[in-house]
Amino acid sequence: MNRFIPHIIAVIVVATTTIIISREFRVSKIPNGGKFQCANCHTNPGGGGARNNFGQAVDIRVTPNGGEDFWSATLASQDSDGDGFTNGQELGDPTGSWRPGQPDPGSFSSVSNPGDFNSRPPATDVAETVMPTSYRLMNNYPNPFNPSTKIVFEIPQSENVSLRIYNINGELVRTIVNGNLPAGHYEKEWDGYNESGNSVTSGVYIYRLTAGKFDRSSRMILMK
Ligand SMILES: [Ca+2]
């Protein structure tokens, strides 16, 4: 039986080495990847296991011999975790121009995890580095919420903007924004209070953003 032990050890060593090399290879090919290591690509925060959307996109671009750069404008422009920030915005390289060996792009403190919906770059940093190219109203978060939620939107140019909350009967509950805003990325909080300063009851509410000709509404749920 003992004669099998060296073979078993050899298999374990080779397998472990392969895993470590593949991990280091992928992390080194992601801008600022060192901050989150394997958690950038895997659903398990410690690495390994199933891949998140970002990890799947990364994996497609990694060749078996490791000789190809996968980070690209295409991958940078995708929003793998659906939080309203592109992978490039989250990793500090919005255009996908960074290449391995170059200094880390962006601000290290702003780097977030493109595979985690709850990990987002600070809005102020994103607004400074990336100017939106279109009008967007993102899903509020959290949702359902209690007691407050954030509503995220982008405008590509200076515009008269209104952001208002309505109840399910279409009655105005609260005006969050009403005025001219410069182009940028915005996160506005609604604290669950109406214009009279009273806390509103649980239920479905509608937030409506108008900016120039852009007019979009979405629903959210206050659950106390
Ligand atoms: Ca994202």
Is the per-residue pLDDT at 126 higher than 70? no
Q: Which residues contact 219 (CB under 8 A, 6 or more apart)?
A: 204, 205, 206
Model pLDDT, residue 19: 47
Query: Does position 5 have pLDDT exceeding 70, yes or no?
Result: no
Residues 17-29 pLDDT 10s: 444 445 556 777 8
Q: What's the gap in Å between 112 CA and the centre of ligand 1?
A: 9
Å from CA of 175 to ligand 1 middle: 28
Q: Quick one: which of 184, 85, 187, 199 has its CA closest to 132?
A: 184
Q: How far is the CA of 138 from the centre of ligand 1 (A)?
A: 12
Kindly give the distance from the C-alpha atom of residue 120 to the centroid of ligand 1, in angstroms, as a whole number. 7
Share of the chain above pLDDT 70, in %: 80
* CA 9 to ligand 1 center in whole angstroms: 41
What is the CA(104)–ligand 1 centre distance, in A?
19
Distance 31 CA to ligand 1 centre (A): 14
**Would you list the domain boundaries of the chain?**
2-123, 136-222
Spacing, Cα 94 to ligand 1 middle (Å): 11
Q: How much is the mean pLDDT over the chain?
A: 83
pLDDT by residue (tens digit) across 150-169? 999 999 988 999 999 999 99
Residue 83 CA, ligand 1 centroid: distance in Å: 5
The model's confidence at residue 8, banded by pLDDT at 50, 70 and 90, is low
Token readout for 75 is: 């991958």
CATH class of the domain whose range is 136-222: mainly beta
Res. 221: pLDDT tops 80: yes
pLDDT tens-digit readout, 167-209: 999 999 999 999 988 888 888 999 999 999 999 999 999 999 9
pLDDT at 79 over 60: yes
Using omega within 30 degrees of 0 as the cis cutoff, is the peptide bond preceding 103 cis?
A: no
- Beta-carbon contacts of 128 under 8 Å, excluding residues fewer than 6 positions away, are none
